[in-house]
Amino acid sequence: MSLIEIKHVNKGYKLGEETVPVLKDINFTVEKGEFVAILGPSGSGKTTLMNIIGCMDVLDSGEYFLNGRAIHEMRESELTQVRNKEIGFIFQNYQLIPTYNVMQNIIMPLLMRGMIHKEAVAQCQDIVKLLGIDHRLGHRPNELSGGQKQRVSIARALASKPSILLADEPTGALDTTSGQEVLKLFCELNEMGNTIVMITHDMNVAKSAKRIVKIIDGELLAEQ
Ligand SMILES: Nc1ncnc2c1ncn2[C@@H]1O[C@H](COP(=O)(O)OP(=O)(O)OP(=O)(O)O)[C@@H](O)[C@H]1O
Ligand SMILES: [Mg+2]
């Protein structure tokens, strides 16, 4: 069984009376342990596809199975549960809470799920060491570099032990060196068994993945 199985998915946006098609008959499979990049120009539908993979948006037609479960048949409440449990999101702009320190940002999703504070902190110890942010735990996001902020957001994503790390332009706000460090980290996390789906418009970024799939004007083309 594949981790992600997307079959004949279509998605459009309503513009007045009309629906503008954005994703057109998408077929896409990801196996557990893969590191895949979805590469495409601006407006090609990358974020729309990521929102569907991340159970943040529903498709118009087609099927989406995640870990064998039929996402396309789920109601909003079920989707929220699956999203929290299965998906670790990483965004271009980090989406950290500015008034929380690093540790609070990382454990917040665990606390929201009812884990006690001590246990949540214990669960994150190895992760913060691995990501080299263990000496920054008391700092607020505005006291960190861009690369450090992204490592905090990766730590937050990993803390919930998701099935997939889903990253939308994770290096988009970083300088070349910090971007390369984040990509190297993704490679290491993948070597450790994490499944990663990374969305980017930049071929040089996509090259870090083990497989590249191109999206052009809402259609997926396999590469290589
Ligand atoms: N909520 C929306 N309502 C209407 N149209 C939308 C909406 N979101 C996206 N679109 C349109 O869908 C198309 C694909 O958008 P999407 O954000 O998925 O592209 P993208 O590949 O992520 O682009 P970028 O690289 O600029 O982030 C675009 O033409 C966009 O204008
Ligand atoms: Mg986008």
Q: What is the pLDDT of residues 170-217, one digit of tens each?
A: 999 999 999 999 999 999 999 999 999 999 999 999 999 999 999 999
Q: What is the pLDDT averaged over residues 95-108?
A: 97
Q: Is the pLDDT of residue 224 over 80?
A: no
Atom of ligand 1 nearest to the CA of 50: 18
CA of 48 to the centre of ligand 1 (A): 6
Question: Which candidate, 216, 223, 175, places its Cα nearest to that of 49?
Answer: 216
Q: What is the pLDDT of residue 140?
A: 97
Is the per-residue pLDDT at 222 higher than 80? Answer: no
Question: No. of H helices and E strands in the chain?
Answer: 7, 10
Q: What percent of the chain has pLDDT over 70?
A: 99
Say whether 24 sits in a helix, a strand or coil: strand
Contact 206, 39 (CB under 8 A): yes
Tell me, what DSSP letter sits at residue 107? H
CATH 3.40.190.10 describes domain 33-58+76-222: no
List Cα–Cα distances, 150 to 28, 161, 222, in angstroms.
Answer: 27, 17, 29
**Each residue's pLDDT tens digit, 166-180:** 999 999 999 999 999
Mean pLDDT of the chain: 95
Contact 168, 183 (CB under 8 A): no
In which band, very low, low, confident or very high, does the pLDDT at 36 lie, cut at 50, 70 and 90? Answer: very high
**Rg of the chain on CA atoms, in Å:** 17
Q: What is the pLDDT of residue 145?
A: 95
- pLDDT reported for residue 69: 97
Distance CA 217, CA 10 (A): 12
Among 9, 13, 42, 219, say which to mutate for ligand 1: greatest number of ligand atoms within 8 Å of CB: 13
| Closest ligand to residue 21's CA | 1
Q: Which residues make beta-bridge pairs with 77?
A: none
4-15: strand order across its sheet: 18-30, 4-15, 61-66, 69-70
Report pLDDT for 28: 96
Structure confidence at residue 223 as a pLDDT band (50, 70, 90): low
Q: Tokens for 148? A: 């450090």
